[in-house]
Chains A and B, each alone.
Chain A
Amino acid sequence: MHRLEKFQIFLAKILVRQKIPRLCLIAASILAAFFSGGCGKKADKGLEHLTYRLKWLFNISVVGDLYTDVHGIFAEQGLRVTIKEGGPERDAIKELELDHAQFGVASADQVIRAVSKGSPVVVIAQLFQANPLQWIYRPQKICIEAPEDLKGKTIGITYGGNDETIMRALLSKYKIMNNEVRFFSVRYDYTLFYEGEVDLWPIYQNAEGVVIAEKLRKAGEEVSFFNPDAFGIRFVSNSVITTQRMLKERPGTIQKFISALLQGWREALDPGNKEKSVATIHQFDRDTPIKIIRQQLEATRMLMKPSPEIQIGRIDVEAWKQTERIMLEQKLISGPVSVERILRPYIKSRSNFIMLPNPE
């Protein structure tokens, strides 16, 4: 018998014994039901409750996270995970420290900044193997074959955002002076790119990139993406994080979580499960047409698993070190943090996931 029902019977016995009117019994039952909250869900019985804070809103970039939850892969591992949307004002690292969440997604620059300020965060998987943050442009209007071609162009950047960091790192690497390009402070709307006033606009290639490319194609215009990764700027994007306390006190939970999550991602990106993944995303992101989601899924697969030998969730230690170097050069952190010491990669063994020794 369920806990709530037991409690209601217990209340009833007391009230009847003491001849308290039936109205009081009803009121007490309602109160008991109210305060017992989620206890009534039988499916949750015996599951370990966790909260997972994403970096951004529900869209294709979180297909694996949602797939894992919707298709019961977390539950198979004995977990009940509440997946919370991220957004510009959300910060998973802060929520982990405040214990509002046990797992989260953050970009490498967020993680490195947090570590430089003493945050006890650890990285347990790297989701995107190639950074989805790229610049969209019209090849009919400008030709970009090498970074030097950026000279004289108007480049959109979000001041303070990681696209600014990436672009400045690229310009610095190729000895392009800031006065040789024109920076434009970008906003959420793409009007100035559509109007052709800005040549290159920062965009998440697998998400908005597909939508905007489709819109421009309909208008008879072709688009291309300028990818700094292709020119040696390896700036790590979304990664799965937790805290050192979790690592110390609940290693089994981490193992179960990461095992489920990476299995979910593998299944979501498996071409055989394409329609299931598309349906999963469409369930949460109703505004994006199914046709677009299909294209977005293809683009996401290329970023998560650029080649067959790369395992989903692999932590690219060299890319993390380069991200730290870039941030140091741009004085975004006050000193080196030796980021490799907080990387805790998991690999799949024959039957389960095991944590590899720290790369340090």
Chain B
Amino acid sequence: MLHRRIYQFVIVYLIGMTFLFLIKYVLNLSDYVIPSPGEIWHTTCHVFARYLFDVMDTLSVAIIGHILSICLATIVGIIGRLTTWVGSFIKVAAYNIQAYPIVAVAPIIFILLGDGLSSRLLIAAMICYFPLLLSFIGILSEPVGHIEHFYEVTKRMSWHLQVKIRAFENMNKLTTVIVGSATLAIVGTIVAEFIAASAGIGYSIRIALYQSDLAKILVALFLIGICTSLYLTCLEWLGYLTRKRWEV
């Protein structure tokens, strides 16, 4: 699973690079606009270790933010599944808050929380939380009639049993949503770092942009892609293990 994801990413990356070089040589553009392969190699040798560390930093924040948002979405999803006023209020709030672009909200967060870990974590969690929440509410509020009916008739139904049944029956959907939101967590962290943080790969990309150094950005994109692939594979593997365990 891992090697397939990695080589698929490498193929996509190489296609992108080929396209860039094609533009460079057809339009006769200088290395300032699109760096040459030699310059990219030279830059890779120069910044690889530093950028790898930065990507790991970003990934660690993204993972923590992702876990936080999964926990939060589960709790709110359990409350929101109820067909009460609170449930519908949570849904409306989630839809509305999701509509705000994070770049507009981020400066407020940075003013309040500073440019440290907490801001990056919050923005990462915010970006992946709302899509997660909407899916969780949808999944957890959908009754599994043929199973739930038995427990209801025998009066053995409790809220946690109901949640378990619905989660088990929709495990594939839940895994897909969690894996999908992982990329959002990474994007969120990078955006947060780009806007105002002073660490992580987003911050390094911002510096490279100030210096108009596309070679550095291409190296950063490669590392982000590899690390994202690794994380997504881990999540898929965890989903697979959970399914197997529950089936037993």
Partner of B33, one of A119, A159, A161, A187: A119
Chain B contacts with A in 9-39, Cβ cutoff 8 A: 27, 29-33, 35, 39
Closest to A115 in B: B32
Asked whether A161 lies within 8 Å of B210 as measured between CB atoms, the reply is yes
Partner of A187, one of B110, B209, B210, B212: B110
Question: For residue A161, which residues in chain B have a CB less than 8 angstroms away from its CB?
Answer: 210
Chain B: number of interface residues, binned into ranges:
20 to 34
Asked whether B107 lies within 8 Å of A117 as measured between CB atoms, the reply is no
Q: How far is the CA of A188 from the CA of B110 in the complex (A)?
A: 11
Asked whether B115 lies within 8 Å of A185 as measured between CB atoms, the reply is yes
A91 within 8 A of B: yes
Asked whether B207 lies within 8 Å of A117 as measured between CB atoms, the reply is no
Q: Mark B193-218, 1 if CB is under 8 A from A, else 0.
A: 00110100001001111111000000
Closest to A91 in B: B212
B104 within 8 A of A: no
A249 within 8 A of B: no
Question: For residue B111, which residues in chain A have a CB less than 8 angstroms away from its CB?
Answer: 189, 191
A97 within 8 A of B: yes
A117-B211 in contact given A160-B206, A185-B198, A189-B111 (Cβ < 8 Å):
no
Asked whether B212 lies within 8 Å of A110 as measured between CB atoms, the reply is yes
Question: For residue A118, which residues in chain B have a CB less than 8 angstroms away from its CB?
Answer: 30-32
Partner of B210, one of A160, A189, A191: A160
Partner of A93, one of B32, B39, B115: B32
Q: How far is the CA of A16 from the CA of B54 in the complex (A)?
A: 70
Chain A: number of interface residues, binned into ranges:
20 to 34
A120 within 8 A of B: yes
A219 within 8 A of B: no
A215 within 8 A of B: no
Closest to B28 in A: A97
Asked whether B33 lies within 8 Å of A94 as measured between CB atoms, the reply is yes
Q: How far is the CA of A155 from the CA of B31 in the complex (A)?
A: 34
Partner of A98, one of B33, B39, B195, B206: B33
A160-B32 in contact given A188-B107, A189-B111 (Cβ < 8 Å):
no
Binding site for B on A (CB under 8 A): 88-89, 91, 93-94, 97-98, 110, 113-114, 117-120, 158-161, 185, 187-189, 191, 332
Binding site for A on B (CB under 8 A): 27, 29-33, 35, 39, 107, 110-111, 115, 195-196, 198, 203, 206-212
The 3 A-B residue pairs with the shortest CB-CB distance in the complex, in nearest-first order:
A160-B207, A160-B210, A117-B31
A119-B31, A187-B110, A189-B110 are known contacts; what are 4 more A-B pairs with Cβ within 8 Å?
A98-B33, A113-B211, A117-B32, A188-B196
29 CB-based A-B contacts, threshold 8 Å: A88-B209, A89-B209, A94-B212, A97-B29, A97-B30, A97-B32, A98-B27, A98-B33, A113-B32, A113-B212, A114-B32, A114-B212, A117-B39, A118-B31, A118-B32, A119-B30, A119-B31, A119-B32, A158-B210, A159-B207, A159-B210, A160-B208, A160-B209, A185-B198, A187-B110, A187-B115, A188-B107, A189-B107, A189-B110
